[in-house]
């Protein structure tokens, strides 16, 4: 137990160091005075609107998770899952704890004696369908705006997105192969596929879940758009639908705290492709990160009220 705690501490320190290092490199490459100037001109109303959209995005995602867990057999109320989702969002912000947001959600769902394995599958499926919504949104935006990015960026990005989408679809069929249903470790994939089928065995359920996922990301993309407009990035919404989803995919890589540093670097890189000002893009990305952090604070209120201990 002590060695596990030590390993987690070391892992956290490494991620913190990577985050700080990436941010320092990015700040060195931009005009910090211009970045500060773009920060000073944004109206608080832009930030408030973005905050409300981000909270709404989390709320819709929580509704999606509630539907998933209900189909797996969990009987807790909608508000249970809503509170747990906001707690998870808070702990996903890189807090120095021994558990992440997804782990906290799994603990919440299994605390009443329910299967921890099924709780894990439910959280994992929620992640999968959330990713599917993001991929479909990004592929559609790329198809409608095929001349926005250079060909040497557009086609590799499109191929990667389609490949990821195909991978998510294939997961649906793993349950049919004994290779994935037997065995100590691969058996987890088979059982995950079974739960996946259980949740999405009807056209109605998959349509509803994908719809909620797309709405979740559209709300978040609109929050990005509003903050961007506030700092002077006067691009239409479709630009954000093309450029921001790949950045979100990169922040999934577990190399920094809550994607900080990775998000800023990737955001600057992608927006440079359309001639955006680096300083404004950096300001815009940092502001979104802060808005996402504040939007997760309802999870802190829930956590303190429940007097949880980690």
- Counting as low any pLDDT under 70, the low residues of the chain are 1-5, 94-99, 178-187, 307-310
How high is the pLDDT of residue 40?
Answer: 80
* Residue 304 lies inside a defined structural domain of this protein: no
* Residue 302 lies inside a defined structural domain of this protein: no
* Residue 204 lies inside a defined structural domain of this protein: yes
How high is the pLDDT of residue 99?
Answer: 56
DSSP one-letter string for 9-65: HHHHHHHHHHHHHHHHHHHHTS-HHHHHHHHHH--HHHHHHHHHHHHHHHHHHHHHH
* Residue 12 lies inside a defined structural domain of this protein: yes
Number of domains in the chain: 1
Domain that residue 13 falls in: 2-296
* Residue 306 lies inside a defined structural domain of this protein: no
* Residue 308 lies inside a defined structural domain of this protein: no
The reported pTM is 0.90
How high is the pLDDT of residue 4?
Answer: 57
Q: What is the pLDDT of residues 162-194, one digit of tens each?
A: 999 998 888 888 777 766 666 666 667 778 888
Residue 84 to residues 65, 262, 278, Cα–Cα distance (Å): 10, 26, 37
* Residue 212 lies inside a defined structural domain of this protein: yes
* Residue 259 lies inside a defined structural domain of this protein: yes
122 burial (CB, 10 Å; 0-12 / 13-18 / 19+) is buried
Residue 279 to residues 4, 19, 28, 199, 268, Cα–Cα distance (Å): 41, 19, 11, 44, 8
How high is the pLDDT of residue 213?
Answer: 96
197 neighbors 172 (Cβ within 8 angstroms): yes
Half-sphere exposure of 262 (CA within 13 A, CB side): 18
How high is the pLDDT of residue 98?
Answer: 47
How high is the pLDDT of residue 1?
Answer: 56
Extract the tokens encoding 35: 């970045």
How high is the pLDDT of residue 23?
Answer: 86
């Amino acid at each position: 137990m002590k060695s596990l705690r030590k390993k987690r501490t070391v892992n956290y320190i490494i991620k913190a160091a990577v985050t700080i290092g990436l941010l320092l490199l990015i700040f060195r490459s931009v005009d910090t005075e211009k970045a500060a100037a773009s920060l000073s001109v944004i109206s608080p109303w832009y930030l408030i609107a973005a905050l409300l959209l981000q909270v709404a995005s989390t709320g819709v995602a929580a509704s999606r998770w509630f539907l998933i867990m209900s189909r797996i057999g969990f009987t807790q109320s909608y508000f249970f899952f809503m509170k747990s989702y906001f707690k998870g969002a808070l702990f996903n912000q890189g807090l120095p704890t021994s558990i992440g947001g997804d782990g906290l959600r799994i603990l919440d769902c299994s605390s009443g004696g329910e299967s921890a394995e099924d709780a894990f599958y439910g959280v994992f499926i929620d992640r999968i369908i959330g990713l599917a919504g993001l991929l479909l949104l990004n592929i559609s935006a790329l198809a409608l705006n095929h001349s926005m990015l250079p060909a040497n960026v557009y086609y590799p990005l499109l191929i990667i997105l389609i490949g990821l989408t195909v991978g998510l679809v294939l997961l649906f069929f793993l349950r049919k192969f004994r290779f994935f249903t037997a065995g100590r470790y691969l058996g987890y994939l088979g059982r995950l596929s079974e739960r996946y089928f259980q949740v999405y065995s009807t056209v109605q359920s998959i349509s509803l879940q994908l719809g909620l996922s797309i709405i979740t990301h559209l709300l978040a993309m609109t929050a990005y758009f509003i903050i961007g407009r506030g700092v002077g990035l006067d691009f239409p919404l479709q630009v954000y639908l093309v450029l921001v989803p790949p950045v979100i995919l990169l922040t999934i890589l577990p190399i920094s705290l809550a994607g900080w540093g990775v998000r800023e670097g990737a955001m600057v890189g992608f927006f440079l492709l359309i001639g955006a000002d680096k300083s404004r893009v950096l300001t815009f990305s940092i502001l979104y990160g802060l808005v996402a952090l504040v939007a997760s604070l309802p999870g802190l209120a829930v956590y303190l009220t429940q007097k949880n201990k980690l």
